[in-house]
Structure 1
């Protein structure tokens, strides 16, 4: 009997990293506990599965105490020193700060859903500064002013605002080009519009 353990719980307990990845990507409830109150993160910590713990944490797994203690406490009590040290070091991280664990697709998904670059300790942006890997590069690009190259990394509301403003600029551009005499002015207006969009569009646009 698995005492109410979900497929995710069982995969975490057994250290089946690829299975855990697939289940989380499919929307498995990261914090669903067994009947005895133990969570997937607690189970992975108990068994010393560091990579599984990192993956669960990157999906926002709760580190709250279970009836058997916290994941940090059980890692220490079971002698999993590296895992316990990582749990301590990452206490203030948001999911986006898990740069070494995030795939490019997952980082992009978090950025597009509005994950903050400036929350947590240290923040995702601080961790990404000078960091290697695709996730770190995506965070740095998302922190720069809006541009067509970074458009896909902005949240939905900001992308919608960008699309509206770009359409407006091009409509003005076309209007200026109604006669050949206005061509120079039209090009200037288009260039100016592209320059200011980076300041008019922010990740926090509502």
Structure 2
């Protein structure tokens, strides 16, 4: 494009929300500026495209200053008061904290990739505590101790550890469930699994 602009920048300038979403999902460079230094987020804020700005922020768009000021400054300068106020309120949010923008698929992807529930201000978990919608529900479920119901929301290392421990408990049960005495041991092993396994697996498992 002329001036070094990208398709993402053009979509943000024109407020084409679904086009922006498709480009971001396809891996478009979210902070790539044109030759003048205009970033996609700055362009969205300059033109008052509130939903586009929220979507970009939920993908981690930088709010650093451009040659024309910060996204927050240009929103104020152009009279987009609601957008400017939101930019102030969301300064400390991580991508996972953008509950109003996140789809269930996007929230799941962030959780499975290891996004923290406890970073940012306020944290994603704090925002989700009383929040409605699928993203908030997924975050609350992911914050609970590991269980088969939350397994899919844990990062890959934690899921691998869970699979290993479940297999080990199953093998213990199978090994000792041979007679009446063994059955007692087998049941104890399964009870141990149900009671303790959730605390042996954390989202931070390496």
Q: Which interval holds the TM-score relative to the shorter structure?
A: over 0.9
Shift of 1:180: 4.4
Give the superposition deviation at 1:188: 2.1
Equivalent residue for 1:96? 96
User: C-alpha distance in 2, partners of 1:31/1:158?
Assistant: 31
Using the TM superposition, give the Cα deviation of residue 104 of structure 1 relative to its aligned residue in structure 2, in angstroms: 0.2
Shift of 1:184: 2.6
SS at match of 1:28: coil
Asked if residue 149 in structure 1 is aligned to residue 168 in structure 2, the reply is no
**Structure 2 CA distance for aligned equivalents of residues 191 and 31 of structure 1:** 51
1:115-155: CA deviations, max 9, x gaps?
00000000000000011000000000000000000000001
Partner of 2:36: 36
When normalised by structure 2's length, the TM-score is 0.98
Runs of 4+ displaced beyond 3 Å: none
Mapping for residues 104-115 of structure 1, pairs under 5 Å: 104-115=104-115
Structure 2 runs not aligned, ≥5 long: none
Residue 183 of structure 1, CA deviation: 1.4
Corresponding residue for 2:59? 59
- Corresponding residue for 2:178? 178
- For these two proteins, the number of residue pairs brought into alignment is 206
SS at match of 1:3: helix
Tell me the TM-score normalized by structure 1.
0.98
Provide the rounded CA distance (Å) in 2 between the counterparts of 1:2 and 1:83: 28
Distance across 1 between alignment mates of 2:52 and 2:63 = 14
